[in-house]
Amino acid sequence: MKAFLFPGQGAQRLGMGGEAFAAFPDLVRQAGDVLGFDVARLCRDGPPERLSQTQFTQPALYVVNSLRYLRHVEETGDRADFLLGHSVAEYVALFASGVVDFATGLRLVARRGSLMAEARGGGMAAVLGLEAETIADLLRREDLADIHPANFNTPRQIVVSGRREAIVAAESLFLAAGATHYLPLPVSGAFHTPFMAEAQHRFADFIADVPLAPQRVPVISNVTARPHVDADLRARMVEQITRPVRWSESLRYLLARGVGFVDTVEIGPEGPPVVRPMFKRTELEAGPLGAAELARPVAPVGGAPHALPTETDANAAVAEPAEAAPPPMGSPDTTENGESVPDAAGYTAGRGRISVESLGSRAFCEAFGLRYPYASGAMYQAIASTDIVVRMARAGLLGIFGAAGLPTETVRAAITRIRAAIPDRASFGVNFIAHVNRPYLEDEMTDMLIAEGVRVVEASAFMEVTAALVRYRAKGLRREAGKVRADNRIIAKVSRPDVAAQFLAPAPAALVDRLLQAGAIDAGEAELLRRVPMADAICVESDSGGHTDQGMPFALIPPILKLRDTAEARFGDFGRLFVGAAGGIGTPEAAAAVLVLGADFIVTGSINQCTVEAGTSDAVKDLLQGIDVYDTAYAPSGEMFELGSKVQVLKKGVFFPARADRLVGLYRQHESLETIEPKLRAQIEERYFRRSFEAVFADVAKTYPATEIARAERLPKHRMALVFKRYFKDTTNWALAGDLEHKVDFQVHCGPAQGAFNQWVAGTPQESWRERHVDSIALMLLEQTADLLNRRFDAMAR
């Protein structure tokens, strides 16, 4: 048994249909005659804004899907036993079945699209993680009469539709009921609900005299989730405008008829599949319809226009259903009318041996209160913004706020904002960066973290454990049921096994004794510190953006895993310890590689900087969106200028790496600013700083302690270092602010993972950073990683 599946609105993309248009010029001309515009040109050249408007999207998709169906049959000779189209794509299925000819189907779709585009005052939202029965109970309990289920895409991904104000106001209710996501869609109408009654009546008048032929191949009705009855075809096509799309039940019907995932063919615009992943998700979560469900009578024509399905998808599940996730790569999470918001979590190829839920360590997820073993790293100066952390927390992922470089009170305010925006028990973290030369800043951070009750920190740039970090660890240590528990959890980001070993050992005895004598910890805390490692998890940082030792995960992860195993045996009454991987992860291939190495979780960094939520400028995001894997370079670090430390930064379109190297070279060659050759000095002042060295030092003197400035006055070389370091500070600030006058001097910490990610999403909606959201990226990366692993293991097993 074989089924052809046709994706609906949301699957459109610029450039779709190119080869199919060329293969059927006569039908393209027919389409132009019907529509009054060149549909091939619209699909090829856009503009995208027009292609995304319902009155243009629907006929364009009908034409592309229909032509690609004809081309598929012509090239393969395939024949389907069932046809199924998602909402507007049901008309493609009817064309493929011979119910309408190409032009007639297009006229119907064009009319349908124009009527739907006229709708105003409505809204839609994709609800992920709740089953149909739960949503029905919620709508009844809260008396949400202006909201109706519109699309049952999978057992746990349902689109609701209704009055716009009601849709917006209901978000908190759905999230409180357990939804993992509530994603309002940019629509003007309450599609597939009784609010579309006027459009339905007008469409009924339009279709009344349109000839319809008997089906040659059964078409599954969106309205009934059963094959169309020829005598009822016209009525069902009219009903579809106000009735929910029962896609999940339709797929379960196919499963019951013997159609498996491998027996389905998705025929639609070029690019990643849109509706086929829903088949796998439905198969995993609910399985085929049972005998009693198959025997259920089909509702009479015109009955219960917005009723929920009488069957409950989850009741037929053969295993505990996993949490749903946002749409996969290549499928926008917001569509024009909510018709296609495909679910990806857990979708796997082959036989589903690996799902999103089986990636990494479930113990890590339980320890940190997460759904998935994935974190977004702490990009400094709030590039890892509160918006990133909130979006991650709401998705059951771990977001780390980028506190480095910010005043303590700014970090405190950010924590307050995060807590106000996330569920009570949702996890989040804060970056705790080492300050080798200013340990008092570490003490300030520890005081604030303890006062605010922050339970997870990412300790970064530490070459050794410090007193402030030990004090943070000590607070909240306790005995419980024969075990030692830690309220304050530390994820140590390291790039050397010797540093990892320090965090997998107890706090240094000398530091514990000193803190005890100073009264910073009590005797009980001191005793427990000797029974626990300093960190709960080690994040192995390989070649990445910003500060990095340019390590390779294949060399770093195995020895650190061995250290972890030894530490777990040593601290038997503490519990599991974890090893994660960061650096270079921007594609499923990279994520799969570190997970196969044994990583319990993954951390992404650079790719989150080029998202809607990132706390940097649009100008930086525009630059990052266009880079490839070779468009980064190593440049001197401003924080450790004198030591020659390196950071990885963007090089495409900017002069910063070259100019930073130039300043370091001058510092090494000269003992003072005055010894620099006058012409070169003038060039540096004019091009780099756009002011004199004296003016720069005057500004520096306002921000450094008086003792530091006095030292600079005595030591000309130190004065030169402070002046040159100001360039590094300015270049960061110019980038964060998007100061286009200084665009060529932007300092943007970034690794090659960004370029790899850009290549991965090329040709999809996520090609634009304005369509990139940190949680959607995370979940599509996990989903595609699971799919990749299945395919790789399948290939190796042959």
Does pLDDT of 453 surpass 50?
A: yes
pLDDT at 379: 93
Mean pLDDT of 761-780: 90
Mean pLDDT of 451-466: 95
Q: Binning pLDDT at 50, 70 and 90, where does residue 330 land?
A: very low
pLDDT at 303: 45
Per residue in 26-44, pLDDT (tens digit) is 999 999 999 999 999 999 9
Backbone angles phi, psi at 164, to 5 degrees: -55, -45
pLDDT at 742: 95
Ranges assigned E (strand) in 573-669: 578-582, 601-604, 632-636, 646-650
- Give the span between the Cα atoms of 665 and 660, in whole angstroms: 9
Per residue in 243-269, pLDDT (tens digit) is 999 999 999 999 999 998 889 999 999
Range of weakest confidence among 172-186, 306-320, 558-572? 306-320
Does pLDDT of 417 surpass 70?
A: yes
DSSP letter string, 317-359: -SSPPPPP-PPPTTS-SS-SSSS-----TT--STT-SS-GGGS
Per residue in 294-329, pLDDT (tens digit) is 877 665 554 443 333 333 222 222 222 222 333 333
pLDDT at 644: 64
The two beta strands, 546-547 and 537-541, are: unpaired
Q: Binning pLDDT at 50, 70 and 90, where does residue 277 land?
A: confident
Range of weakest confidence among 290-304, 463-477, 589-603? 290-304
Mean pLDDT of 378-401: 94
pLDDT at 17: 92
Q: Which residues contact 666 (CB under 8 A, 6 or more apart)?
A: 676, 680, 684, 720, 724
pLDDT at 610: 95
Range of weakest confidence among 434-443, 570-579, 598-607, 670-679? 434-443
- Give the span between the Cα atoms of 472 and 449, in whole angstroms: 8
pLDDT at 792: 87
With beta carbons less than 8 A apart as the criterion, state whether 59 and 35 touch: yes
Mean pLDDT of 198-214: 94
Does pLDDT of 351 surpass 80?
A: no
pLDDT at 685: 95
In the Cβ-directed half-sphere of 639, how many Cα atoms lie within 13 Å? Answer: 16
pLDDT at 741: 94
- Give the span between the Cα atoms of 107 and 618, in whole angstroms: 42
Does pLDDT of 187 surpass 80?
A: no
Give the percent of the chain with pLDDT over 90: 72
What element of type H or E holds 181?
Answer: strand 181-185
Which residues form the catalytic set?
Answer: 87, 192
Domains of the chain by range and CATH?
3-118+191-316 (3.40.366.10), 357-616 (3.20.20.70), 621-747 (no CATH)
Per residue in 636-693, pLDDT (tens digit) is 888 766 666 788 999 999 999 999 999 999 999 999 999 999 999 999 999 999 999 9
Does pLDDT of 75 surpass 50?
A: yes
pLDDT at 191: 92
- Tokens representing 602 are 């993954």
- Give the span between the Cα atoms of 303 and 296, in whole angstroms: 15
pLDDT at 274: 87
- The alpha carbon of residue 109 and the mean position of all alpha carbons in its chain are separated, in whole angstroms, by 33
Q: Give counts: helices (H), strands (E), the chain.
A: 34, 20
Give the percent of the chain with pLDDT over 70: 91
pLDDT at 549: 67
- Tokens representing 764 are 């999809």
pLDDT at 410: 96
- Give the span between the Cα atoms of 775 and 392, in whole angstroms: 5
Q: Which residues contact 683 (CB under 8 A, 6 or more apart)?
A: none
Does pLDDT of 160 surpass 60?
A: yes
Does pLDDT of 87 surpass 90?
A: yes
Per-residue three-class SS string for 413-440: HHHHHHHHHCCCCCCCEEEEECCCCCHH
Taking alpha carbons only, the member of 195, 183, 56 closest to residue 120 is 195
pLDDT top residue among 436 and 727 = 727
Which residue pairs, CB below 8 angstroms and at least 24 apart, start in 502-505?
502/464, 502/465, 502/534, 503/459, 503/462, 503/465, 503/533, 503/534, 503/535, 503/538, 504/533, 504/534, 504/535, 504/538, 504/563, 504/564, 504/566, 504/567, 504/577, 505/533, 505/534, 505/567
Tell me if residue 477 falls in helix, strand or coil.
strand
- Tokens representing 118 are 């006229």
Per residue in 101-142, pLDDT (tens digit) is 999 999 999 999 999 988 888 999 999 989 999 999 999 999
pLDDT at 294: 81
pLDDT at 301: 54
